[in-house]
């Protein structure tokens, strides 16, 4: 993700829906955030696991094959300095063209399965690392970025996201609340109940 604050409200709303759907499939927002915190706490990045899986308190993350250290470091570097609107495809003649293309070919078809420990919590969800737009354009999948790379404070911003209000004429308008306003509105609603 380039910058959450620079996104328009409709995009923020779509990202919020996507992240909430995945959180519900894992057992809720707290289980999802717990997964992210445990991934961030690991000394070595979990993608380097030799058994192609990562266990956390409320479930597991599994993928199809081992990802080597150099590929994980390249992926981390690519997520940190994305330019060209997040396009991961290198230009021909680029010094790292061959290594980046090798990474994209290796990780592109892989599927990451995130499942809760308790089946009652949900069915879990699947991730693909990249969204391939066309033969010259490939972006990092938003949920893959959320699970493995984005800072947790940005993920929480996405969870809070804009709130849709319906006015008297039944027209939708999107309003973004900061944390203080959100708590104030929440308290007002609870007082009315």
- Per-residue pLDDT of 91-146, as tens digits, reads 888 888 888 888 888 888 899 999 999 989 999 999 999 888 887 888 888 899 99
- Grade residue 189 by pLDDT with cuts at 50, 70 and 90: low
Separation CA 164–CA 161 (nearest Å): 10
- Grade residue 167 by pLDDT with cuts at 50, 70 and 90: low
Q: Is the model's pLDDT at 23 over the cut of 90? A: yes
Task: State mean pLDDT over 57-66.
Answer: 92
178 vs 98, more confident: 98
Separation CA 111–CA 127 (nearest Å): 6
Task: State mean pLDDT over 48-73.
Answer: 92
Task: State mean pLDDT over 30-39.
Answer: 94
- Locate 38 and state its tokens: 């445990």
* Residues 2 and 100: beta-carbon distance below 8 Å: no
Task: State mean pLDDT over 22-42.
Answer: 93
Separation CA 127–CA 147 (nearest Å): 9
- Grade residue 192 by pLDDT with cuts at 50, 70 and 90: low
Question: Residue 11 contacts by C-beta under 8 Å, 6 or more apart in sequence?
Answer: none
């Amino acid at each position: 993700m380039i910058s959450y604050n620079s996104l328009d409200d409709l995009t923020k709303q779509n990202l919020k829906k996507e992240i909430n759907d995945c959180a519900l499939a894992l057992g809720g927002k707290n289980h999802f955030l717990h997964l992210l915190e445990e991934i961030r706490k690991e000394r070595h990045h979990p993608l380097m696991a030799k058994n192609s899986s990562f266990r956390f308190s409320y479930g597991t993350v599994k993928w199809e094959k081992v990802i080597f250290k150099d590929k994980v470091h390249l992926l981390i570097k690519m997520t940190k300095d994305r330019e060209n609107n997040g396009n991961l495809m290198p230009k021909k003649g680029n010094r790292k063209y061959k290594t980046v293309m090798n990474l994209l070919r290796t990780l592109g078809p892989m599927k990451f399965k995130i499942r809760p420990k308790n089946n009652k919590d949900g069915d879990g969800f699947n991730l693909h690392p990249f969204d391939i737009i066309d033969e010259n354009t490939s972006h990092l999948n938003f949920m893959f970025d959320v699970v493995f790379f984005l800072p947790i404070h940005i993920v929480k911003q996405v969870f809070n996201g804009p709130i849709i209000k319906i006015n008297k004429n039944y027209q939708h308008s999107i309003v973004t609340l900061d944390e203080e306003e959100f708590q104030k509105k929440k308290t007002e609603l609870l007082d009315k109940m």
